[in-house]
Every structure is written in structure tokens, then in C-alpha cells.
A and B are shown apart, each in its own frame.
Chain A
Amino acid sequence: MSKRIDVKDLNVYYGDFLAVEDVTINIEAKSVTAFIGPSGCGKSTFLRTLNRMHEVLPGARVEGEVLLDGDNLYGPGVDPVTVRSQIGMVFQRPNPFPTMSIRDNVLAGVKLNNKKISKGEADVLVERSLKGANLWNEVKDRLDKPGSGLSGGQQQRLCIARAIAVEPQVILMDEPCSALDPISTLAIEDLINELKDQYTVVIVTHNMQQAARVSNRTAFFNIAGTGKPGKLIEIGDTHTIFSNPTQKATEDYVSGRFG
């Protein structure tokens, strides 16, 4: 239940502004790939092109190919909704639906699409997803309470449960821990470690220790200056990137001499 992603010569635009230039990258299945780099270098923008969330913003567009197990996401006739149901996303700030209970939040992917699901199946799905997000024990007695009443870390795990409930191939995470305290961060990092057994995980992070802790491979993005496009500098095994990178810019960044 996981697929690999191959990106070829991808340029990302906001209107006429080239935000990310010429990215070619391979993301392995059943592994964690981390994107690191300074603020504004296009990591998040690039991540959002991987499930066609980028084009939700007015004027945003993409040139190039993103292949999910060989199928181009940007091919003619591809429905972005199909893409997004296969490639889930967790956002920087926890965003459970405020009008729904915890249970309904987990079932949101099913219920919002009006798919028929029996109560028994729904119960199984809710329990499996919440257990998958390490949240079951904390919320099993209050599934009918609103999701917005949980703590920030719990809300973020609820969002992960919501994302895995639709059984995607790939999970994209956009700085999922940046709004959380260290203990909640640890819980999410443990969860990411478990998720990679089943899913392809891509995580954007500002925290290099986090990238070193959770990822198998790391990609370093950089930007030449304000107004210039962001670029992929290099990608490799996390261990190599942090101990013996091939590019000078990467070494400066991971050793703290820059940015």
C-alpha cells in the first residue's frame, strides 16, 4: 500500500513568478524523505505540488512531470481529486473540522464524499485509524466530543488519523511539529517511524535534528536570494547529507554556518 514518486524537471510558478526551479527527485516507497532548507526556499511549495494542492491557490501552476509509480499526476485528463485521495496531506497547523466530533473527523474522508459505510465498518475504521495515529487510548472514551477540544498535539495526530483513514499511498507532512511542544513532537516522530512501514512519507521540516531522527533520505533546498527561485541542491541518505555532503552549501547549512 505505498507507491514511489519520481519528479522530472519540475518548475513551480505563482503567476509569472518562478518559485521552484528545475527539481528532479526520486522519493522511495516505504521510507521517510525529509526536505530541509532555509525559510522561503520552496520546500512547502514543492511539497504541495506532489498532490496537486499547489493549484488550489489562484494563479499557481506547474510545468514538468510528477510520476506516481509511473503515472503522471499532471497528465491530461487526470482528476486532481483522484490524486489527492491517493496522496494525503498533514498541514503545519492542526486543522480538525470544528463542526465535527472526533469520530466524524476521522471519517471525514468517507463521509464528506457521501460514501456508504455501515456502522460496524465505520467503527473498525475509526479504531484502526486512531490506533495508527497513536491516539486511540487518549480519545476512545470521548469519540463524540468535538475534535477542536483536544490539545494541539492530539489535534495533529487526529489530522494524521484522518489522513490515513482514506488509505492513501503517500502521506505528505508540511512541518507537522512546528506548532507543537517537544513531547507532542516526540509522539509524532514515533508515529512517523511506524507509518513508514506501510506508507511513503514525505516531511518538510525546519528542524535538522528532526530530519536526522526520522528520515531515511534527506533533500536540501536552497535559494540564491530574495526573488530568486528555490532549487534542490542535493538529495541523499540522511546519514550522508549530515556527515559528508557533496555540496558546500549543504555542509554550511547542516553545520549551522549559514541560515
Chain B
Amino acid sequence: MTSTLTPVRSKRSALTKGQLPKYAPYAVLAAALIAGAAILALIGFNPFGWGIVSAILFAIGLVSWSAAVEGSRKAKDKLATCLVVGSFLVALLPLFSVIWTVLANGVPGLINPGFLTTSMNGVTGVYDNKAVEEGAPVLGGIYHAFLGTVQITLLATVISVPVGLLTAIYLVEYGHDGRLARAITFFVDVMTGIPSIVAGLFSAAFFFAVVGPGTKTGAVAAVALSVLMIPVVVRSSEEMLKIVPNELREAAYALGVRKWRTIIKVVIPTAISGIASGVTLAIARVIGETAPILVTAGFATSINSNVFSGWMASLPTFIYTQILNPTSPANPDPSSQRAWGAALVLIILVMVLNLGARLIARIFAPRTGR
């Protein structure tokens, strides 16, 4: 009995055109790196230029090879891929550069004993001169500034979250897109764009008028920061409340539950993960503000744990003053070491807050497990 099957022909499928080999991108990359190094060697080598020239050569090489073998559609695809990846790398570059610089300069300050547990009280230029000239340990730390940042930000959060959340609830649940709701939305948008120094001046002027001239305390700074925080909290909470399905509200109404109870017990718990992470991101946004704190809380070198009285230090103003007015003008190195250390602490704080936001979002997220 003879087989009626036709044998499978070992030729290229009629459905494909020419294809680049799998190793093509790597080969082009290697060639581009070598050619880039050669070109740069002619005009003086530097790593940054090498990267740029190699990237351009890589894109040209890969796209023209692809155009020759695979046709114009694939070549355009490769060009778009090169542009997207290239933009991504360009966007990432400053981020890594900042993190690297702060780590490299900040770690010596951070691991200095007493950096996190002492203030700058009594640390004068004399000690810094000694540290540089005689190799004595660098004294002084950021405890007072850290305490100030935490307290001022905490108070700002306590002020902003109720105001912001209640505004968002009004806009979503009661505003019905009426005239008042639209006006509030407009002014919240305007508030988002207020320069931070203006917020600081507003708060300072407000307290000067109400409490008395020259009132500079942590609470004044907290009010300034809350002016910056409130629009962010309103916006993020509003978005989160909006995506709570209307069906859940109706389900609660149909059970004979009042509107305010529905909001408190159904709508907010459903949206709480988004609201909490929005609040955390708003905190991260204001924790690094310098100008409004400088005009509202002044600056201190000693520990002040009362936000309602006396000048108060914070991490951003600490960095600012240490760089601009070093403790010892003759030997600014210890001051700059402390400033970089404080900058590193600030970045870590923001990073911890962001991680905290993700954790909060995960903990509060509605469970869907079976």
C-alpha cells in the first residue's frame, strides 16, 4: 500500500519573508561599541560620548540591516524599538546619577557615629577645623532636623487628610457636578500649581496677622505644607472614590442604609487602599520642601520637640544651611559631609514612604481569594 501523503518539502515557508538571525542585535551592538570607541579615540575618548555614538551607530546599523533583509515594515518596527528603549535609558540616567552621587557622598556622613542621634547644638567651626586639620571625628548630627521634618510633616498630614478627604467626598458624592463642585475643582487645580514659596509666605503672613509678628514655629510650617498637600490629597482621593462602582452604593441603599453610612462603611473602605497610597505620595511630595519651611519655621541647631513654639530645623533646611553657610567657613568639608548625609536620609525617607504606600495599598485592597 503506497502512502498518499506528499513529503514535507524542506524549503522556507511561503508565509515568511527574510529574517534577521537571532544574534543580529548583539552582533550589531558589539560592532557599534567597537566602531564608537574607534571614532571617539580620534577626537578624545570619554564614556558619555562613547555611549551616545554607539547608540546612534547601533540604531543605524540594525535598522538598515533589517531594511535590507526583512523589508520596510520590520525596519520601522526596529527603529521604533530603538527610540523607545533609548528614551527609557535617557530618562533613567539622571535617576541613577542622582542615587549614585547621593550614596557616594552621603554614606560617609551617615555612618559617622552619632549622626542620627545628636544635634548641631554646640558644634562650632572650631570642631570642624580640628576634624580637618587634626583628623578628629566629625561632630554633630541631624537628630534635630530629622525630628523637625517628621513632626512638621506629621502635623501637615493631620491637617490635610481630613480637609482633603472630606472635599473629595463632597465632590464625588454630593457635588453632582454643580456650580460649587466645578468651582472647587477649578480652585483645587489652581492650588496644585501654587509655588511652594508662596504657600510659605501665605502661612507666615497668616500667623503674623493672627498670632503676632515674627511667629515662626513648626506649626506655621505645617500649615504651609498642608496648603501644598491638600490639592494632592483631594485629587487622588477624588479619583479613588470615583472608581468605586455605583452598584455598591445602590446595593447599600437598597438594604435601607443611609447615604452617610454608605459612604463611611462601603465607599471609603472599598477605596481606602488608593486613598492611603495617595496620601503617602502627597507626604513624599512635601517632605523635601525647603523654601516654605525656611520662611515659616526658621532654622535651629538644637533639638526642639514642640511644634507650637520656637524655631525648628528640618532636613531640607539643614542641607541648605550646611551647604550655604558651613559651620566653619574655612573648612566646609565636614558641613558638606553632613549635608550629603542628610540628603541620603531624606531620599531613604521618601523611598520608605513609597514602599509604605504600596504595602498599605496591598493590605487594604479588597480581597478576591477563593
| Residues of A in contact with B (beta carbons under 8 Å apart) | 51, 53, 56, 58, 81-82, 84-86, 88-89, 91, 93, 95-99, 108-109, 111-114, 145-146, 148-150, 159, 162-163, 166
Contact between chains at A56 and B256 (CB < 8 Å): no
Identify the closest chain B residue to A111 (Cβ): B265
Contact between chains at A112 and B265 (CB < 8 Å): yes
- What is the bound-complex CA distance between A86 and B255, given in angstroms? 9
Name B341-370 residues within 8 Å CB distance of A. Answer: 366-370
Contact between chains at A112 and B257 (CB < 8 Å): yes
Among B176, B257, B269, B366, the residue within 8 A (CB) of A113 is B257
- What is the bound-complex CA distance between A146 and B367, given in angstroms? 6
- What is the bound-complex CA distance between A166 and B257, given in angstroms? 11
CB distance from A151 to the nearest CB of B (A): 9
- What is the bound-complex CA distance between A136 and B136, given in angstroms? 76
With A91-B254, A112-B257 known, 10 other A-B pairs at CB within 8 A are: A53-B250, A56-B253, A84-B255, A91-B251, A99-B269, A108-B255, A109-B256, A112-B252, A112-B255, A146-B366
Contact between chains at B261 and A95 (CB < 8 Å): no
Identify the closest chain B residue to A105 (Cβ): B251
Contact between chains at A163 and B254 (CB < 8 Å): yes
Contact between chains at B247 and A51 (CB < 8 Å): no
Contact between chains at A148 and B255 (CB < 8 Å): no
- B262 proximal to A (CB < 8 A): yes
- B270 proximal to A (CB < 8 A): yes
Among B176, B254, B258, B262, the residue within 8 A (CB) of A58 is B176
- B266 proximal to A (CB < 8 A): yes
Contact between chains at B261 and A112 (CB < 8 Å): yes
- What is the bound-complex CA distance between A150 and B370, given in angstroms? 7
The 7 closest A-B pairs by CB, nearest first: A85-B256, A98-B366, A89-B254, A149-B370, A109-B255, A95-B247, A146-B367
Name B227-280 residues within 8 Å CB distance of A. Answer: 245, 247-258, 261-262, 265-266, 269-270
Residues in chain B near residue A53, CB distance under 8 A: 250, 253-254
- What is the bound-complex CA distance between A156 and B287, given in angstroms? 47
CB distance from A132 to the nearest CB of B (A): 16
CB distance from B370 to the nearest CB of A (A): 4
- What is the bound-complex CA distance between A109 and B248, given in angstroms? 13
Contact between chains at B250 and A56 (CB < 8 Å): yes
Among B250, B266, B270, B369, the residue within 8 A (CB) of A112 is B266
